[in-house]
Copies of this chain bind each other. A is one copy, B any other.
Amino acid sequence: MKYFDVVIIGGGPAGVSAAISAHNTYPAKSIALIRKEEIALIPCGIPYTQATLPDVLSNTLPDGLVTQKAGAELIIDEVIGRKANTLHLKSGEEITYSKLVLATGSIPSSPPIEGIDKEGSFLIQKDVKYLEKLRAKMLDSSDIVIIGGGYIGVELVDEFLKHNKKVTIVELQNQLLPATMDFEFANKLESILKERGANIVLGRYVKSLAGNGQVESVVLDDGTEIPADVVVTCVGCKPNIKLAEIFGLRHDPRYGIKVDEYLRSSEKDVFVIGDAAAKHDFFTGELTDIRLASTAMAEGRLVGSNLFEIKVIRKYRGVLGSFSTKIGNTAFGISGLTELKAKEMNLEYAVGEAITVDRHPGMVPGASPLHLKLIFARYSHVLLGAEMHGGDSVGELVNMLSVMILNKMTDMDIDTMQIGTHPLLTASPIAYPVITATVDAIGKWYQADVT
């Protein structure tokens, strides 16, 4: 039987960041990280293992982060039981801990579609061999159907198109990315995918996969049949709560293992971080389905620092939801509330928009068009949401807007803010999109007051 001061179960971003943070904070403590997978993957890189990267192994989360940067022992094994503070592993090994961190992640949802187990039908598993099999099969195929129009779905379409496959994506709602993007932005994304050759089917769902052993086609609810030799289902994921069940921790099957402000479970020495932990919405405080690597890692860092006493006071608890992606040559970014969510919340809001170019003057080489939409609370004047598409600068622009939302900046704060601009790097100071869209919103209020 081995003893470690800290044992972390799970080797994804949450577990790894908790290990690094624990070592950074408590360098004298012994740390072990137990994970099932021989090789850990970078979750958000998974779609890109299919075309942009040369192979699946290029998307590896290096073990050195655990063994060197976190000075931890890496144990490839599976936890199957526990007695007091001693964990039982599948190999027969026993490990005793002082503090335990569960970072067991999520598992892809598999909807009740007839024939979903046929050969050629895949989910998105965080598993090297599985993804290598998908890549090999996909390269050998001609017709691919993606079920589910979330981020992974649209990114996979873009990747498979790079191999000149015939790709169809089927989404139940009337737009792609229905949970996180307003209609006009989703519409832009759809038009780029269509230009690139994708077939987009909205407002329909898949009833069954047809074929004799190997999938041959996908049958929709209206009877339409779409040829397919590869089908990838990515309709979301659910928290992996298996250990909560075994250990008897308080949990919710849909939202995850219950935790307090400091990610402590119903047992005081057991922390839960990442996709396995239940999360709350930044704006409403309600339980939310949004599970992101960035949130998981913020939780990992917090728990790593606070294992033996609370050192770091948590400032931002709720999940803000900051997303970015790139389809073709256009980047998309979303942070906080969309207009659709504002309506669902019954929130009185105002919209500001800017349409500009991300370099100045606009003829500078490398300039891309940029469209930004901001959502403010109508009377509190607080920034609540941002959506945009443009060039690669969207990747950090969305993070800048996240910082503004997290800090509850108002339109007036943004209007009087100083930003840096440069011809070869940003929009012109006179057309800087964040300020232009803010001024647009302010202008609407002034006009409303006049009339």
Interface residues of A (CB under 8 A from B): 13, 16-17, 20-21, 24-25, 27-28, 42, 44-45, 48, 52-54, 58-61, 65, 292-295, 297-298, 301-302, 305, 312-316, 319-320, 322-326, 331, 333, 335, 360-361, 363-366, 392-400, 402-404, 406-407, 409, 412-413, 415-426, 428-430, 432, 435, 439, 442-443, 446-447, 450
- With A52-B364, A301-B435, A393-B393 already in contact, 6 other A-B pairs whose C-beta atoms are closer than 8 Å: A42-B361, A48-B424, A54-B363, A305-B415, A394-B425, A399-B400
Q: Which residues of B contact A363 (CB under 8 A)?
A: 53-54, 58
- 9 shortest interchain CB distances as A-B pairs: A395-B425, A322-B420, A396-B396, A400-B400, A24-B443, A324-B422, A326-B424, A395-B426, A407-B407
Contact between B323 and A412 (Cβ–Cβ < 8 Å)? no
**Measured between C-beta atoms, what is the minimum distance from A71 to chain B in Å?**
12
A-B contacts, 17 of them at CB < 8 A, read A27-B447, A44-B360, A44-B423, A48-B364, A293-B421, A298-B415, A298-B416, A301-B435, A314-B416, A315-B412, A316-B416, A322-B419, A324-B422, A335-B420, A394-B425, A395-B424, A399-B420
Contact between B326 and A422 (Cβ–Cβ < 8 Å)? yes
If A298-B417, A361-B42, A425-B331 touch, whether A392 touches B393 (CB-CB below 8 Å) is yes
Q: Which residues of B contact A415 (CB under 8 A)?
A: 298, 301-302, 305, 312
If A24-B443, A42-B361, A412-B315 touch, whether A294 touches B419 (CB-CB below 8 Å) is yes
If A24-B439, A418-B294 touch, whether A395 touches B392 (CB-CB below 8 Å) is no
**Measured between C-beta atoms, what is the minimum distance from A401 to chain B in Å?**
9
Contact between B361 and A420 (Cβ–Cβ < 8 Å)? no
Contact between B17 and A420 (Cβ–Cβ < 8 Å)? no
**Measured between C-beta atoms, what is the minimum distance from A17 to chain B in Å?**
6
Contact between B396 and A333 (Cβ–Cβ < 8 Å)? no
* Minimal Cβ-Cβ distance residue in B for A317: B416
Contact between A48 and B392 (Cβ–Cβ < 8 Å)? no
CA A432 to CA B442, docked complex, whole Å = 33
Q: Which residues of B contact A402 (CB under 8 A)?
A: 417-420
If A361-B53, A446-B24 touch, whether A422 touches B325 (CB-CB below 8 Å) is yes
Of listed A60, A403, A432, residue having the most chain B CB within 10 A: A403
If A301-B435, A420-B324 touch, whether A44 touches B425 (CB-CB below 8 Å) is no
CA A429 to CA B366, docked complex, whole Å = 26
Q: Which residues of B contact A403 (CB under 8 A)?
A: 400, 403-404, 407, 409, 417
CA A165 to CA B402, docked complex, whole Å = 44
Copies in the assembly, this chain: 2
Contact between B396 and A319 (Cβ–Cβ < 8 Å)? no
Contact between A13 and B430 (Cβ–Cβ < 8 Å)? yes
* Minimal Cβ-Cβ distance residue in B for A28: B450
Contact between A424 and B298 (Cβ–Cβ < 8 Å)? no
* Minimal Cβ-Cβ distance residue in B for A446: B25
CA A302 to CA B322, docked complex, whole Å = 30
Of listed A16, A59, A294, A331, residue having the most chain B CB within 10 A: A294
CA A25 to CA B450, docked complex, whole Å = 10
Q: Which residues of B contact A42 (CB under 8 A)?
A: 360-361, 423, 428, 430
Contact between A301 and B425 (Cβ–Cβ < 8 Å)? no
Which residue of B53, B419, B430 contacts A364 across the interface (Cβ within 8 Å)?
B53
CA A295 to CA B417, docked complex, whole Å = 8
CA A22 to CA B446, docked complex, whole Å = 11
Which residue of B44, B60, B393 contacts A422 across the interface (Cβ within 8 Å)?
B44
**Measured between C-beta atoms, what is the minimum distance from A341 to chain B in Å?**
17
Contact between A392 and B298 (Cβ–Cβ < 8 Å)? no
CA A323 to CA B420, docked complex, whole Å = 5
If A333-B420, A402-B419 touch, whether A17 touches B298 (CB-CB below 8 Å) is no
**Measured between C-beta atoms, what is the minimum distance from A245 to chain B in Å?**
28
* Minimal Cβ-Cβ distance residue in B for A312: B412
Contact between B319 and A418 (Cβ–Cβ < 8 Å)? yes
Contact between B430 and A297 (Cβ–Cβ < 8 Å)? yes
CA A32 to CA B20, docked complex, whole Å = 60
Q: Which residues of B contact A24 (CB under 8 A)?
A: 439, 442-443, 446
Contact between B392 and A52 (Cβ–Cβ < 8 Å)? no
Q: Which residues of B contact A432 (CB under 8 A)?
A: 294
Q: Which residues of B contact A331 (CB under 8 A)?
A: 422, 424-425
